[in-house]
Amino acid sequence: MPWTETRYPDSLKNFDLKTRNKAIEISNALLKEGYSEGAAIAIGTVQAKKWVEGSMNEAPNDDYHVFPHPQGWAVRRDGASRASSVFPTKVEAKDKAIDYARNEGVQVVVYDRDGRVQTYVDLVDEVSHHQTES
């Protein structure tokens, strides 16, 4: 069930309004992607804290981001000042970001046209799962 500014998990009650609202936004996006409520709120909380602190752009954690660009859709790695690639379509950009991330075991963060997080592609679990099967 999606959360709102007035109805949210107890774990967010002690957060300042800005952090709590960002955590709600991210967590709701993860719920739409099929994450469990527990996983969505855990990931949303961590990402919201990074976003509010400004560390999403200052302290690289190696994730790849797919976002709108004047020439289409861009792929940029955390901490990079410029896009590593630009593609005419979002699908192409997301596919390339997934290729990069899969090779490195990091996640892909995909944004919508308005710059809001739309989805996360978590390849860390996928890579570790494949490694344990080998």
For residue range 59-87, list pLDDT tens digits in order.
346 889 998 888 899 898 887 777 889 99
User: Which band of pLDDT confidence, cut at 50, 70 and 90, is reported for residue 37?
Assistant: confident
Residues 66, 128, single domain; the answer is yes
Tokens standing for residue 20: 């709590």
Provide the residue type at 62 as one letter: D
| Cβ-based burial of 113 (10 A; exposed 0-12, middle 13-18, buried ≥19) | exposed
Residue whose C-alpha is closest to residue 121's, from 63, 75, 59, 79: 63
Note down the domain range covering 79: 60-134
**96 and 129 within one domain:** yes
Same domain, 47 and 111: no
To the question of pTM greater than 0.85 for the whole model, the response is no
Instruction: Establish if 51 belongs to a structural domain.
Output: yes
Nearest to 45 by CA among 13, 23, 14: 23
Confidence of residue 89 (pLDDT cuts 50, 70, 90): very high
DSSP-assigned beta bridge partners for residue 66: 75, 110
